[in-house]
Amino acid sequence: MRDLSHADAKSAAPLRRPRLIIEPTRGWARLNLRELWLYRDLLWLLALRDVQLRYKQTVLGIAWVILQPLVAAGIFAVIFGAFAKLPSDGTPYLLFVFCGLLPWNLFAGAVQRAGNSLVGSANLISKVYFPRLIIPLASVFAVLIDLGVALGVMALLMIVYQVPVTAQILALPFFLALALIAALGISLWLTGLNVYYRDFMYALPFLMQVWLYASPVAYAAALVPEQWRALYNLNPLVACIEGFRWALLGRGAVTFETVALASVSAFGFFISGVLVFRRIERGFADVL
């Protein structure tokens, strides 16, 4: 027998492959931002898939994004503006309502899409590992395309009604981020619980309808009685809607108290949503 050299012995040794053991989380797991960053390409692909699936084989395509808020704003303007004669902070009622619908449609669209996102991706979840949080995140971010189109329509309406753009528009990203945080928090609650209890999605349309009228979309927040104002401001959509009007139209009941209460509420929804989602996600593949 010949002696094996060091190179021969190294080549004859069995090849050692790196192993990654994936174990379910235990207890109240924290949000792993590093893992989400590593899967950022998947997040982008899933968000792009959601946009493509929505507008695939449609007659009007992206025109739905323009028609939906315009028709809704027109109906609200006739009922609440022309018939009920509600005040609109000194701005044309159609412009007033359309501006309020911008953050509302962002919030409602994100919650409705993300709420059923895990159930719709059951085949993907049961076959391969990735952070489950990416699926509702992709559904929420996909709604930003609709918001961009609606903001373009808003710009045209501001030109028609001769509303100037002021420096207050620089605050718009803050109120946009606040609406996204609130939407993501509610979405994580709904999408996680919907995996185990499917009747949550049946209650979602009713919840969104009640939330719409509990938010100052078709009316000004100043109409709410003073004794109920603090409780009312816990709705994060109040600050978001009034903030959009303040940033775009120069009108709106935006105060430090309103923004502070909305921020506490939005981050409360988000943090609790993340904790609950991470707590129950270990059983998603088995249930789905």
Residue-level pLDDT, tens digit, the chain, 288 residues: 445 455 554 555 455 665 655 555 555 556 777 888 888 888 888 888 877 777 666 656 667 778 888 888 889 888 888 888 888 878 889 999 999 999 999 999 888 888 777 777 777 877 777 788 888 888 888 888 888 889 999 999 999 999 898 899 999 999 999 999 999 999 888 887 887 787 777 788 888 999 999 999 988 888 888 888 889 999 999 999 999 999 999 887 788 888 999 999 999 999 998 888 888 777 676 665
Residue 59, pLDDT score: 59
Report d(CA 251, CA 154) in Å as an integer. 15
d(CA 173, CA 152): 15
In a domain, 40, yes or no: yes
Residue 13 belongs to some domain of the structure = no
Cβ proximity of 150 and 237 under 8 Å = no
The CA distance from 205 to 212, in Å, is: 11
Length of the chain: 288
Decide if 21 is inside a domain: no
CA gap 151, 17 in Å, rounded: 52
Q: Which amino acid is at 115?
A: G
Has residue 25 been placed in a domain? no
Give the pLDDT confidence score for residue 288 in this predicted structure: 58
Task: Give the separation between CA 180 and CA 202, rounded to whole angstroms.
Answer: 23
Integer Cα distance of 216 and 97 in angstroms: 9
Asked whether residue 53 is assigned to any structural domain, the reply reads yes
Residue 40 lies in domain: 32-276
12 located within any domain: no
Residue 117 lies in a domain: yes
Looking at the structure of the chain, the number of domains it has is: 1
Nearest to 130 by CA among 34, 36, 31, 17: 36
Tell whether 125 is covered by a domain.
yes
Burial 132-156 (b: 16+ CB within 10 A, else e): bbbbbbbbbbbbebbbeebeebbee
User: Whole-prediction pTM value?
Assistant: 0.83
